[in-house]
Amino acid sequence: MSEIVAKLNPTVLWTHFAALNAVPRASKNEERVILFMMDFGKNLGLETIRDHVGNVIIRKPASPGMENRKPIVLQSHLDMVHQKNNDTAFDFDKQGIDMYVDGDWVKARGTTLGADNGIGVATIMSILASHDIDHPAIEALLTIDEETGMTGAMGLQGGMLHGEILLNLDTEEDDEIDIGCAGGMDVTATRTYNSQKIDTSLHSGFKISVKGLQGGHSGIDIHRGRGNANKIINRLAYGHESNGLMLATFEGGSLRNAIPRESQVICAVPSQNKDALLTSIRQKITDIQKEFASIEPNLQIEISDITCPDEVMSATDQKHIISAIYAAHNGVFRMSPDIEDLVEASNNVAKIEIKNGQAKILCLTRSSVESSKLDVAQSLKSTFELAGFDVVFSGDYPGWTPNIHSPILNVLTSLYEKMHSQHASVVACHAGLECGILGRNYPKMDMISYGPTIKGAHSPDEKVNITSVLKFWNFTLEILKNIPVKE
């Protein structure tokens, strides 16, 4: 446990966050954190349930005098994105997050921090463990696998929850109240390709590496114009057939919901063409660095000599695959015509793995409108199929339709204005929240989402604002005291 972080204000919340961050909790590998939460609830003497998919539900009766208030669900997800810089030695499966304080921010050394959604979980833990916080009857819903499929929310059965209001603690700007979000779909393109042997005595090998990009959340940050390492490096490889560039491997990105920060290709070239080819590639590098100078100041693109690979992709397959990646849409696809500054639809070309005769490209398509989500997915499908790929759609989950007449929205906006003498921004976000999925089995539940300020989620630059966490905590305590009475 990080002692420095645990001493921050409010200490109860930060202490629970530090304890949580000592437990490995990667998406689809949450067994240890599930047991951690089960023990937590049982040790408090509270009814604690693990459902058939691994979600944890902890129930706490209303505090004295609050029994007549509507019962609520406090909801956050247990898993976190495990990402680290290539030069960071860290084993997520064995080590707790190495946190430190930098001014008014809590950060992690070379890895994701887990504030998404660990601060929400720690807040719920603090309320469950409290003896002096006024609150109605509470069901804590701690879901699994939010980051890579939302299978926890999808698997939650109807009838498990009895709350009338759900507070989702999973957004990342402390002056915003979310009432809607995008849905998502995984698009996976795969194909085989032909390889050919080359005479290594007549060819030279080299590697191109892209690193130093900001990356970030493929929903929240997709409109910021940040560089996608896979698209950048593919751009460098494109169009060099005349100079004899031959691709051996292409590997970049990691998770579908993280904008790729690093990517690399291993190539070969006839030795007599090497100088001309590298001159052309370096000119492209100069152009790209100029384009991204203001938004990606730490972008690094390096060319290094390596032992020449003895096997490369066939020229025909190389042309088709690189062209398909070039044509695949990345970034904002459409802005909402109805909600100002809201991204309606987007795609992230998230992960590319091309080696040993197999090519695999992973994308995450998002939209707040089901028809445009399918439009983006079908656009990608068409692009990849033209290049001989097989394309599969999976992991489809719905968006959350905004309800501007939500009763709990009125409670939160009034409280925020009273506490801060200004209006909160009522928004819909382009990230995926579990509210839309949960609403399918609980259509009458009134839902809202809010959270502290978190920057750089899904990347090793992730950080959470300390002052904002205190603001979020105090806001939550006021919300609990002002839950409406039962009708």
pLDDT of residue 178: 96
- Does the annotation count 79 as an active-site position? yes
Architecture of domain 185-397: 2-Layer Sandwich (3.30)
How far, in Å, CA of 2 to CA of 5, rounded?
5
Q: Residue 365 phi/psi, 5° resolution?
A: -100, 135
Nearest one of 407, 31, 401, 29 to 183, comparing CA atoms: 401
User: From the DSSP assignment, how many helices (H) and strands (E) are in the chain?
Assistant: 12, 23
147: annotated active-site residue? no
Reference 345, options 360, 335, 355; nearest CA is 335
* Burial of residue 265, with CB atoms counted within 10 A of its CB: 0-12 exposed, 13-18 middle, 19 or more buried: buried
75 forms beta bridges with 141, 168
In the prediction, which pLDDT does 241 show?
86
| Predicted local distance difference test score (pLDDT) of residue 50 | 98
Q: In what order do the strands lie in the sheet with 165-168?
A: 47-50, 56-60, 138-143, 72-77, 165-168, 446-449, 176-181, 425-429
- Residue ranges covered by each domain of the chain: 3-182+399-481, 185-397
| Contact present, 389 and 324 (Cβ < 8 Å) | yes
Q: Is 346 exposed, middle or buried (0-12, 13-18, 19+ CB in 10 A)?
A: buried
How many Cβ atoms are within 10 Å of 225's Cβ, its own excluded? 13
Model-level pTM? Answer: 0.83
**CA 267 distance to own-chain centroid:** 31
Q: How would you write the pLDDT of the chain (487 residues) with one tens digit per residue?
A: 578 999 999 999 999 999 999 999 999 999 999 999 999 999 999 999 999 999 999 999 999 999 999 999 999 999 999 989 888 999 999 999 999 999 999 999 999 999 999 999 999 999 999 999 999 999 999 999 999 889 999 999 999 999 999 999 999 999 999 999 999 999 999 999 999 999 999 999 999 999 999 999 999 999 999 999 999 999 999 999 888 999 999 999 998 999 999 999 999 999 999 999 999 999 999 999 999 999 999 999 999 999 999 999 999 999 999 999 999 999 999 999 988 889 999 999 999 999 999 999 999 999 999 999 999 999 999 999 999 999 999 989 999 988 989 999 999 999 999 999 999 999 999 988 999 999 999 999 999 999 999 999 998 999 999 999 999 999 999 999 999 999 8
Task: List, as one string, the DSSP characters of 226-284.
Answer: ---HHHHHHHHHTT-GGGT-EEEEEEE---TTB----EEEEEEEEGGGHHHHHHHHHHH
Confidence at residue 306, expressed as pLDDT on a 0 to 100 scale: 97
SS3 state of residue 420: helix
pLDDT for 85: 87
Catalytic annotation, pick one of 30, 116, 146, 296: 146
> Whose structure tokens read 């408090």?
44
**CATH code of the domain occupying 3-182+399-481:** 3.40.630.10
Q: Of 30, 79, 178, 262, which residue is the catalytic one?
A: 79
Q: What is the pLDDT of residue 149?
A: 84
